[in-house]
Amino acid sequence: MLYVVRRLASTIPILIGISLLAFLLSVISPGDPAVEALSMSGISEPTEQEIEIKREELGLHESLPVQYGRWLVKAVQGDLGVSYMTKESVSGEIMRRLPVTLSISLLSVLFAVGLGVPFGMLMALKKNSWLDEAGRFLALTLVSIPGFWLAISLITLFSEKLGWLPTSGYGTWQHLVMPAMVLACGTCAILMRLTRAALMEALNQNYILTARAKGLREPSILSFHALRNSLIPLITVIGTYFGSILGGSVIVEVIFALPGIGMFAMDAIFRRDYPVIQGYVVFTGVVYVMFNLLVDLSYAWINPQVKLGVKLK
C-alpha cells in the first residue's frame, strides 16, 4: 500500500509537467478564447467591447504565470474549473463522457485480447505452418489499414448494406461493436505478434523442458507454464493501449458519433477552451500514470520476485 502511495506521489511532478506543457501550448496557439466563447463560427462574431468584457470575466488579462498558478492551486484542490464554452464544470463534463469512452475502450481491449492472444498462441504452436503465415498476413494487414478507412467501410457494409448494426450513437452494445473493432485492429495485430514471440521464447526455456519431462500434456504446459511467463510484455502493451484509448480517440468518436472524451477534447482545442484542455490533459495524465501503476502491480502479481520485494518494502 505504501508502495502504491509513494508511486502515486512520484507522479505528481509528471502531472504538473504535463499540465504546464498543455498550458503553454494552449496559450501560444493563435486565437482568443474570449472570441471563441462568444462567436459562432461563420455565423456571428462579437464586437471588441464584448470581447473585452469576456476576457475580463475569464481572467485572461492576468499574466500567464498568474493564470497558470491560479489554475494549479484550484486543480490541486480537485477543482478543474469551468468550461469557457459550456459553462459546466470540467470534471463533470469529463465524468459524463467517461462511461462512453470506457465502454468502447473495454470492448476494444476485449476484442484485441480475445482475438490477438489466442491467435498468437496458435501461431506460436503451429509455427512456420500455413496457419502461422496466414496469421502473419492478417496481423500485417490489420496494422496497415488506416482506421478511418476501416470505419467508413464497416459502416457501409454492416449498417447501410446489411443493416445489422447501427451506424452511430451510444446506447446498446451494438453501438459499440464497430468503433471497438476499428480501435482494436492495430492492437490486435500487435498482440498477435507479441504473443507469438513471447510464447515462442517461453517455450524455448529450460523450465518448459522440465514440464515436458514430467509428462504434462501440451495444453497445460502452454497455459500453466508458458503463458504466464510471457504475460509481461503483453500486459505492458495492453496497459498502455487501454490507457491511450481512455484518453479518447478523436476519429472514431467523430465518425461513430460517440460523445466521448476525445471529441470533447478536440472541440476544446479548436475553441481554445483552456480549462477543458487543461482538465483533459490532466485526466489523460492521471490515466497514463494509473495504468503504468497497474501494469507495475500486475508485474508483481505475475513475477513473485517483485511481489515479495514489494511486501518487504
Partner 1 sequence: MKWMEKEAVVMEPLLSIEQLTVTFHTPKGKVKAVDGASLTLHQGQIVGLIGETGSGKSVLGLSIPGLLPGTAEVSGAIRFKGQDLLILQKDCLRKLRGTEIAFVPQNPATSLNPVMRIGRQITEAIKAPFSRKQKRAIAARLLEELNMPKPSDTLQQYPFQLSGGMKQRVLAAIGAAGKPSLLIADEPTKGLDALVRDQVVGLIRRVATHTGAAILVITHDLYVARSLCDAIGVMYAGEVVESGSTEQLFAQPKHPYTSGLMRSMPGKGMIPIPGVSPSLMEEHRGCKFQSRCSQRLGECEWKAPDLYALQDQDHKVRCFLHDSSRGREQGVPERLVATAEA
Partner 2 sequence: MIRLRLFLHSLGPIGVISIVILIVLLGSSLLAPWLAPYDPNQIRMSERLAPISGEHWLGTDTLGRDVFSRLLYGGRVSIMLALAVTVATMLIGLIIGTLAGYFGGWLDDVTQAGIHIFQGLPGLSFMIAIAGTLGPGVESMFIALVVTSWADFSRVVRGEVMKIREESYIEGIRAIGGNHMYTLIRYVIPNMIGPIIVLFTVRIGRVILSIASLSFLGLGLQPPTPDWGVMVNDARPFFRSYFHLILAPGLCIALISFAINCIGDALRDALDTKTEKAGWLS
Partner 3 sequence: APEPVASQKANELASNTTEVNPEEVVLAAPRDLAPGTQDAYYTSIILYVWEPLLTAGEDGEPAPKLAKSWQMSDDGREWTFTLQENVLFHDGEKLNADAVIANFKRYEQVSPKSSPFYTLDSKKSYPGLKEIVKVDEHTFTLKFENPQPTLLYAMVNFSSPIYSPKNFDEKGDFNRLPQGTGPFKLMAHEKDQYALLEAFDGYYGEKAKSKKIRVRVIPDPDTRLSALKSGEIMGVMDLGAIPPSLAKELLKDDRFEISTAKSTISHYLHPNGKKAPFNSPAMRKAVSMMIDREQLVQELYLGYPTATANLLNVTSPFYKDFAIEHNVDEAKKLAAEALGGKREKIDLIVPTYGLNRYPYKAQAEWLQAVLSELNLEVEIRILDGAAFKDAQAKGEYHLALATQGLPNADPYTIFTNYLASDGSSNKSYSLGYKSERVDALLGQAKNTLAMEERRKLYDELQAISVEELPTIPLFNDASLIGNNKKISGYQATIYGTTLPQLEWAK
The single-letter DSSP state of residue 164 is -
The 3-state secondary structure of 36-99 reads: HHHCECCCECCCHHHHHHHHHHHCCCCCHHHHHHHHHHHHHCCCCCECCCCCCEHHHHHHHHHH
Q: Residue 187's closest CA among 110, 102, 295? A: 110
CB of 74 to partner 3, least distance (A): 19
The answer to whether residue 211 forms part of the interface with partner 1 (CB under 8 A) is yes
CB of 138 to partner 3, least distance (A): 26
Neighbours of 230 (CB within 10 A): 25
The answer to whether residue 212 forms part of the interface with partner 1 (CB under 8 A) is yes
Query: Given the rule CB under 8 A, which residues bind partner 2?
Result: 11, 13-15, 17-18, 21-22, 25-26, 28-30, 133, 136-137, 140-141, 143-149, 152, 156, 193, 201, 204-206, 208-209, 244, 247-251, 262, 265-266, 269-270, 277, 280-281, 284-285, 288-289, 292
Comparing CB distances to partner 1, the nearer of 15 and 300 is 300
Rounded to 10°, the helix 231-246/274-302 angle is 160
CB of 213 to partner 1, least distance (A): 4
CB of 210 to partner 1, least distance (A): 5
32 binds, among partner 2, partner 3, partner 1, none (CB under 5 to 8 A by kind): partner 3
CB of 114 to partner 3, least distance (A): 17
Comparing CB distances to partner 2, the nearer of 76 and 209 is 209
Distance of CA 250 to the CA centre of its chain: 11
3-state helix, strand, coil in the chain (%, to 5): 80, 0, 20
Location of C-alpha cell 447501427: 166
With contacts defined by CB under 8 A, how many residues of the chain interact with partner 1? Answer: 21
Question: How many H helices and E strands in the chain?
Answer: 17, 0
Q: Which of 64, 210, 223, 270 binds partner 1 (CB under 8 A)?
A: 210
